[in-house]
């Protein structure tokens, strides 16, 4: 079961999300929170796999909570689900460590797929968010990616797992992991979602 924590300051939204997710056999909503501070307390008390995180909330917002969650439950994946896709919302959330970023008008089937993808550690970005990242000022990468590294990053951005990428590129899964480590180092990021975000920002990826 994928254990989900829903964080949103609107009870009606939380109820709606619970109804969508608990209709799936492999997903269980184990806790809810109305702000970031409550989310950290819930995560400390109950192990969770995926956190559905709103951004603008009282007491503690989503970005601050994402950063703090690393210490409380480093294994938890954070999937931002918000109505805001401005530059000042998207980039801080991704840089704080969010695995994905979706808008609340996302169709329910896509939301469910995104929760499963986030649980697998895959980067999940809505098209408008990817467009925002592409629209950022493009700075030269600290070090250019090799052709193979760019292929790996492109597949990761498309939602491929390490195993999928290895099969499509006819290389071992261990080699894919090595390429990812090199990509992280060159783009000065820590994880897959940040690497994809940097790829769009630097013009290495296209929607």
Would you state the pLDDT for residue 144?
81
Q: How far apart are CA 113 and CA 102, in angstroms?
A: 12
Which pLDDT belongs to residue 76? 93
**Ranges of CATH 3.40.50.2300 domains, the chain:** 2-125
Burial class (CB in 10 A: 0-12, 13-18, 19+), 81: buried
Q: Which residues pair with 4 in a beta bridge?
A: 29, 50
- The answer to pTM > 0.75 is no
% residues pLDDT > 70 (the chain): 92
Q: Where in the chain is the domain with CATH 1.10.10.10?
A: 147-201
Give the span between the Cα atoms of 117 and 184, in whole angstroms: 20
55 is written with which tokens?
Answer: 């951004």
Q: Does domain 147-201 have CATH number 3.20.20.80?
A: no
The confidence score (pLDDT) of residue 44 equals 93
Q: What stretches in the chain show pLDDT beneath 70?
A: 87, 128, 130-142, 207
pLDDT of residue 205: 86
What's the Cα-to-Cα distance from 37 to each of 62, 94, 115, 137, 171, rounded to whole Å? 9, 19, 22, 33, 44
Handedness of CA 161, 102, 57, 94 (dihedral sign): positive
pLDDT for res 68: 93
pLDDT of residue 141: 45
Residue range 2-125 forms a domain whose CATH class is: alpha beta
Query: Is 76:48 a contact under the CB 8 Å cutoff?
Result: yes
Give the tens place of pLDDT for each residue, 34-82: 999 999 999 999 999 999 999 999 889 999 999 999 888 888 999 999 8
Contact call for residues 77 and 97 (beta carbons, < 8 A): no
């Amino acid at each position: 079961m994928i254990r989900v924590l829903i964080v949103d300051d609107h009870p009606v939204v939380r109820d709606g999300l619970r109804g969508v997710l608990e209709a799936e056999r492999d997903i269980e909503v184990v806790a809810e929170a109305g702000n970031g501070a409550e989310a950290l307390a819930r995560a400390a008390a109950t192990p969770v796999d995926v956190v559905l995180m709103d951004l603008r909330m009282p007491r503690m917002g989503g970005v601050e909570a994402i950063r703090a969650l690393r210490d409380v439950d480093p294994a938890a994946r954070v999937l931002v689900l918000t109505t805001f896709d401005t530059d000042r919302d998207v980039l801080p959330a991704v840089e704080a460590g969010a695995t994905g970023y979706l808008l609340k008008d996302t169709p329910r089937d896509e939301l469910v797929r995104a929760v499963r993808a986030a649980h697998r550690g895959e980067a999940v970005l809505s098209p408008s968010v990817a467009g925002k990242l592409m629209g950022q000022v493009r700075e030269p990468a600290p070090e250019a990616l090799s052709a193979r590294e760019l292929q790996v990053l492109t597949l990761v951005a498309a939602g491929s797992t390490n195993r999928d990428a290895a099969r499509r590129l006819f290389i071992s899964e261990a080699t894919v992991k090595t390429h990812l480590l090199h990509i992280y180092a060159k783009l000065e990021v820590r994880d897959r979602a940040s690497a994809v975000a940097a790829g769009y920002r630097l013009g290495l990826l296209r929607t």
